[in-house]
Structures are given as C-alpha cells and as structure tokens.
Structure 1
Amino acid sequence: MTSAARPQGPAAPLPFFVYGTLRPGEANHSLFLRGRTASHEPALLPDAALYDGPGYPYAVHRAGSSVVGELITPAPGGYAELLADLDRLEEYEGPGRPGNLYDRIAREVLRPAGHPVRAWVYLASPLLARDLCTSGTEITGGDWLGRRGRPGAEA
C-alpha cells in the first residue's frame, strides 16, 4: 500500500527521500546538502519506478516496484531554507502547479529492516510521468547509482 497524502501544510517538517543527484557522492549532494544534514541512511521508496532523464532521474508511482535512495534529515534550524532550495532545484512551484517538473509528495519510505517513515519525495509531475511510463528508459533495479555499475550499488 502506498501513501501519498499530504501532511498538514505544504511545508510540514519531514525528512527527504533522495534517489538521484542529491545522494551522497553525487554532484548536487555537495552543492545542496553538504553541512546541512543531521543524518542520512539508506532507504527504499516502495511502489515507485525510476526513469533516466537528462543527467538526473525521475521517480514515478508504480505499484510493485521500488526505488533505492537515502533518507536525509535536515540539520536543526535549517529546514525552511533547505526546503526552499530543494524546491527550486527540483522546479517545484507548489501543489498542482502546471510549471512543476517534479511534485513534492509526502510518501512512506522504508528504512533498513523495513521500518517505515514519512518523507518528502520529488516525483515526476503527472504529464511527465505519463510520458516516461509510455516511452521513457527505465533504470533497472531502481538505483540511480547502479545504472553505471558502481561498486556496492544494488542491481
């Protein structure tokens, strides 16, 4: 079962699930997250599939698949600024906005050993998700890092 309900208010303080260029070792992690997080740990986004994009991936809702990523907890005192920076990076202008590249959705993600936690996830906007599902290139195994055969990446 997937949970895509929004918590009260669009900026409820939740951790972030990142699955692409914001993961540790990737370019945007250094630019946007270095020194701004309290913790990060491996996690899975259930009921989602990953598609290749122009230098970054897109996650879309799909039952029965999962996406590999990291659960990022922002450092105390920096949540609002980090949220605004990530919204700009992901071209998210607000709920249901037609200009969104991604939509920021509260979803249940799984920590190691299957422990669930709600987190913000940036999913491809609905029109883009439709196009990806019909003609996009899916990343087998749902792991952005694994697409390049990196050592230690899940297949």
Structure 2
Amino acid sequence: MQLAAGGFRDITRIASSNPQMWTDILLNNREVLLQMLTQWQKEMSQLSFWLKNKKAEQLYHFFEHAKATRDHLPSNKKGSIPAFYDLFVDVPDKPGSIAEITSLLAKSSISLTNIKILETREEIIGILQLTFKNEKDLIKAKAHIENKTNYHCRLQ
C-alpha cells in the first residue's frame, strides 16, 4: 500500500461498495461475466508470455492499443459512459448541515443523482460530493448553495 499512487484509490472505489450488492450483480450477470473473465485470462496469459520472453514490441503494442482505447472514451459529454457533474461542498460537522443543503436543492427543484460524504472525522470540515444529471443542474445548485448559505462550493 505504501507504493500505491493517488490514482489507486480511484480505480479501487468499487472495493468500498456494499459487498452484497456486488455479489448480487455478479451472480445476476454470471454467464456474460464468465465469458469475459475467460477472455481476460487469455489476454493476461499472452501478456505474461510476452513479459517472460522480453517481447518489447508486443508489450508496446498492447499498451499503445490500451492508450488509444482510453483516449477515445468520452469526457464530460454524452456517450457510452455517462458524464458526471459533481459539486464539492465544504460543510461543518454540525447537525443539520447536510439536510440544509439537500432541502435547499429540493425547494429549488434540483434533483441529485448521488450524494457522498468524503470526510467523516468529527469536529472538522467535511466534504459533501453532490452529483447531478446535467451541467445545468450543477451550475444552478452551486449558485443556490452559495447564495443561500455560507458554504464554499467548488467544481472539479
């Protein structure tokens, strides 16, 4: 864990999810997942062979293809992977602060798609991550929260 870079936490976020939920998802998608795992194991065996045999050209092409695939994923726009519109709100550790924010949004008819508390240690400022379905709701929510409260908001 000491060698894990900052991106490690991002790519392992599913590990912090509900284990029962993921058990159910895997079992309900068992057949297709078994096919995909078989294909992945074949690819990893090929990668292992190239690595053992110092096949630099094949390794290079493997990563070149991975990069091209990643570079063509949509970013903050409609596509095969939906965009997320996140707002980060600094909130104090006091009763009602989260309710205050969510009530304000509800009264303004702004719908949240997800809510997450990023800091939970007592007696310090917490970070509330609010996710919206579109950029319009994100901008509207930021303006409402900043105009009606003393909470600091930021986009990332």
Q: Please state which structure has a larger fraction of its residues in helix.
A: 2
Using the size of structure 2 for normalisation, the TM-score is 0.30
TM-score (normalised: structure 1): 0.30
More strand by share: 1
